[in-house]
């Protein structure tokens, strides 16, 4: 595509960064809030850019818009420019200073509190100049619109549009308090789980299926819990209170087992309800400040030490 002199002017760095911002926002209204402009002003500048180029950059719908092929090519160039500008600005600002910045991190409620909490506290002690904004949630959110820099999730297959770094495996256990075990006994077979009062997590409106693996054998059983929640701290309390047999990740109950407050059963089976791995997720082609990069490497190193994960696995990325 050959552009005349007037059109070439429209492809300056600021115009490309503007296009990146509105496409990342996903709608004109969201772009206006992000850019601190009116919706009409955003629409006007976008139309001027398209008219000058003689190309449609965005396909508009009633609720959102998406980039055309030309728009996506310019978007990729704009991302590179924005990243370079952000990196240059950060390098200048941090000369002779402590590492500073802000990182917005989304973590699951159970693993986030039981394991990651101590990691993040240690990180904050080591890097006091970095502001950590930690959100506890279990669902994979729209990282762009929620302005999430890094997300930790329990999931078997990470989304293809995100970079995924392996953190740790997830192992579910059947467990109960010592008091419950003494009074009612523990399940001796997978079938016994269907007769127990079960405490576990579940997805609303879905039948709960437990997969169990032993050598080359795989069994799937349908369970009907008497207490369900997505809050693993609450599930932990319920198990300790003797309300039934919990099926939870091992990190939820490990301390109680070590201290003799709880016991596990069916340990020769590998149990799974939801995800079997924990991943760190972040957007590809997004500039990482030194603060974000430092947090990512800190978390990966903690995972390697704690779980003795092979470096080649922990450092692999899925684009």
Tokens of 73: 């090519």
User: Tokens 């509105």 appear where?
Assistant: 22
pLDDT score of 97 more than 60: no
Nearest to 135 by CA among 120, 125, 122: 120
Rounded CA-CA distance 162/296 in Å is: 15
Tokens of 181: 């075990």
Backbone angles phi, psi at 163, to 5 degrees: -80, 135
Top mean pLDDT of 104-118, 157-171, 234-248 is at 234-248
Nearest to 288 by CA among 280, 14, 31: 280
Strands, DSSP E only, in 161-206?
Answer: 163-169, 172-177, 198-200
Predicted local distance difference test score (pLDDT) of residue 69: 83
pTM listed for this prediction: 0.62
Q: How would you class 68 by CB atoms within 10 Å of its CB: exposed for 0-12, middle for 13-18, buried for 19 or more?
A: middle
- Helix 39-53 to helix 28-35 angle (10° resolution) is 100
**What would the pLDDT profile of 26-45 be if each residue is shown by its tens digit?**
777 777 887 778 888 888 88
Rounded CA-CA distance 240/254 in Å is: 12
Predicted local distance difference test score (pLDDT) of residue 93: 54
Rounded CA-CA distance 42/38 in Å is: 6
Q: Between vectors from CA 30 to CA 103 and to CA 63, what angle results, nearest 5°?
A: 130
**What would the pLDDT profile of 230-261 be if each residue is shown by its tens digit?**
888 899 999 999 999 999 999 899 999 999 99
Rounded CA-CA distance 199/235 in Å is: 7
Going from the N-terminus, what domains does the chain have, and what CATH number goes with each?
Answer: 5-93 (1.10.10.10), 101-169+276-314 (3.40.190.10), 172-272 (3.40.190.290)
């Amino acid at each position: 595509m050959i552009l005349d002199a007037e059109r070439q002017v429209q492809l300056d760095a600021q115009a490309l960064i503007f296009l990146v911002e509105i496409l990342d926002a996903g709608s004109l209204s969201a772009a206006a809030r992000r850019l601190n402009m009116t919706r009409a002003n955003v629409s006007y500048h976008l139309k001027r850019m398209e008219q000058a180029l003689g190309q449609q950059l965005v396909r508009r719908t009633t609720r959102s818009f998406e980039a055309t092929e030309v728009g996506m090519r310019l978007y990729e160039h704009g991302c590179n420019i924005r990243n370079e500008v952000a990196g240059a600005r950060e390098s200048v600002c941090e000369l002779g200073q402590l590492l500073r910045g802000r990182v917005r991190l989304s973590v699951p409620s159970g693993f986030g509190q039981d394991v990651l909490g101590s990691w993040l506290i240690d990180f904050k002690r080591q890097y006091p100049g970095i502001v950590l904004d930690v959100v506890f949630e279990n669902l994979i959110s729209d990282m762009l619109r929620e302005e999430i820099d890094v997300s930790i999730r329990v999931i078997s297959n990470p989304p293809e549009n995100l970079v995924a770094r392996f953190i740790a495996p997830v192992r579910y256990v059947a467990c109960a308090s010592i008091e419950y075990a003494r009074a009612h006994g523990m399940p001796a077979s997978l079938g016994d789980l269907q007769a127990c009062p079960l405490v576990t997590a579940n997805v609303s409106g879905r039948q709960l299926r437990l997969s169990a693996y032993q050598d080359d054998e795989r069994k799937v059983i349908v369970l009907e819990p008497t207490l369900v929640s997505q809050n693993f701290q609450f599930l932990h309390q319920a198990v300790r209170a003797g309300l039934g047999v919990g099926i939870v990740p091992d990190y939820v109950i490990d301390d109680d087992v070590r201290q003799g407050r709880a016991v596990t059963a069916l340990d020769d089976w590998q149990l799974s309800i939801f995800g079997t791995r924990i991943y760190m997720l972040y957007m590809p082609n997004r500039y990482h400040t030194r603060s974000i990069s430092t947090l990512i490497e800190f978390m990966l190193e903690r995972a390697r030490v704690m779980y003795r994960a092979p470096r080649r696995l922990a450092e692999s990325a899925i684009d």
